[in-house]
């Protein structure tokens, strides 16, 4: 016979089940809305053109492609992760054996505090402090460019990567560090040779999550990247990402042909983040097993 749950446990179970159903329905509604919005493009053959063509809404033969935004989003996210990931591994390594314990804890406290700072504050500080420096470096450019966005976004995603790695090392380090020290290793050697290799899948998970955080951000790209719809030829070029493109088009109109481009951008972002979420779940499951 099944044991009957107490009243409060039964209520909590029903609330949890209801919340799960609600989240599932919201997710399905979002998927349905995106499919309905992009259905004319999918059936009419216009999706391929929008993904490839340039963005020239005011040309004699206007085109509303998001190809440049796709390249800019990929470049910005990849460069930000390439900068933030080594820094995150260094911070976690310092806190878990390479540096003094008190200083390591202080660094982690600072990182945890960074997660509470609104994204718009990162953008504001970048506009006030970083943009003038990049403007001087570029020899007369605006300073609103890919490089500025990369540096700002790297600082934004750094706490996410650090905390994911730190959570896993907190589970592994006590036993593995002891094994390494018993073999005559220094704390730094034990961390680099034993603990970090054992957490390699969590490192991969943190990398993918950092990329998801980067490609899904809107405010940093909107505030400091320059919003020029072009593929970047250098770090000092202004760019527009997919998320910034969606925000800019929605802020101006919802009826012109340009509006269709945001449906394609939303579909692309949804498919990409869904695929990366599956990768994260797979990596996390393997790491815990």
**Domains by residue range for the chain, with CATH:** 55-288 (1.10.3720.10)
Q: What is the pTM of this model?
A: 0.84
pLDDT tens track for 132-170: 999 988 776 788 999 999 999 999 999 999 999 888 888
Is 205 within 8 Å of 286 (Cβ atoms)? no
Q: Which of 39-43, 114-118, 267-271 is the most confident on average?
A: 114-118
Q: Is 109 a residue whose pLDDT tops 70?
A: yes
Is 19 within 8 Å of 27 (Cβ atoms)? no
Q: Is 256 a residue whose pLDDT tops 60?
A: yes
Q: Is 176 a residue whose pLDDT tops 60?
A: yes
Q: What element of type H or E holds 288? A: helix 258-288
Q: Residue 97: its pLDDT value, please?
A: 74
Pairwise CA distance, residues 89 & 87, whole Å: 6
- The mean pLDDT value for 46-52 works out to 76
Q: Which of 58-62, 119-123, 134-138, 196-200 is the most confident on average?
A: 119-123
pLDDT tens track for 83-98: 999 999 999 888 887 7
Which structure tokens are listed for 62? 């206007």
Residue 77: pLDDT band with limits 50, 70, 90: very high
| Angle CA 221–226–227, to nearest 5 | 75
């Amino acid at each position: 016979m099944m044991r009957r749950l107490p009243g409060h446990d039964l209520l909590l179970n029903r609330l949890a089940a209801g919340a799960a159903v609600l989240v599932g329905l919201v997710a399905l509604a979002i998927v349905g809305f995106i499919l309905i919005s992009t259905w004319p493009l999918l059936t009419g053959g216009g999706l391929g053109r929008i993904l490839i063509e340039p963005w020239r809404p005011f040309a004699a033969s206007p085109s509303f492609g998001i190809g440049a935004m796709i390249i800019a989003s990929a470049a910005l996210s990849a460069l930000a992760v390439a900068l933030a990931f080594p820094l995150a591994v260094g911070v976690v390594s310092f806190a878990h054996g390479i540096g003094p314990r008190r200083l390591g804890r202080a660094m982690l406290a600072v990182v945890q505090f960074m997660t509470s700072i609104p994204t718009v504050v990162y953008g504001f500080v970048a506009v006030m402090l970083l943009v003038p420096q990049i403007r001087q470096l570029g020899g007369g450019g605006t300073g609103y460019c890919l490089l500025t966005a990369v540096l700002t976004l790297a600082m934004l995603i750094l706490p996410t990567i650090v905390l994911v790695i730190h959570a896993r090392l907190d589970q592994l380090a006590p036993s593995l560090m002891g094994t390494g020290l018993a073999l005559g290793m220094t704390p730094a050697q034990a961390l680099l040779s034993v603990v970090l290799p054992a957490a390699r899948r969590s490192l991969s998970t943190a990398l993918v999550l950092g990329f998801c955080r980067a490609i899904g951000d809107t405010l940093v790209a909107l505030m400091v990247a320059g919003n020029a719809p072009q593929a970047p030829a250098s770090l000092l070029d202004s760019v527009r990402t997919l998320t910034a493109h969606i925000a800019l088009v929605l802020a101006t109109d919802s009826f012109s042909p340009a509006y269709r481009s945001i449906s394609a951008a939303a579909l692309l972002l949804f498919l990409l983040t869904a695929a990366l979420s599956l990768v994260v779940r797979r990596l996390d499951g393997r790491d815990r097993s």
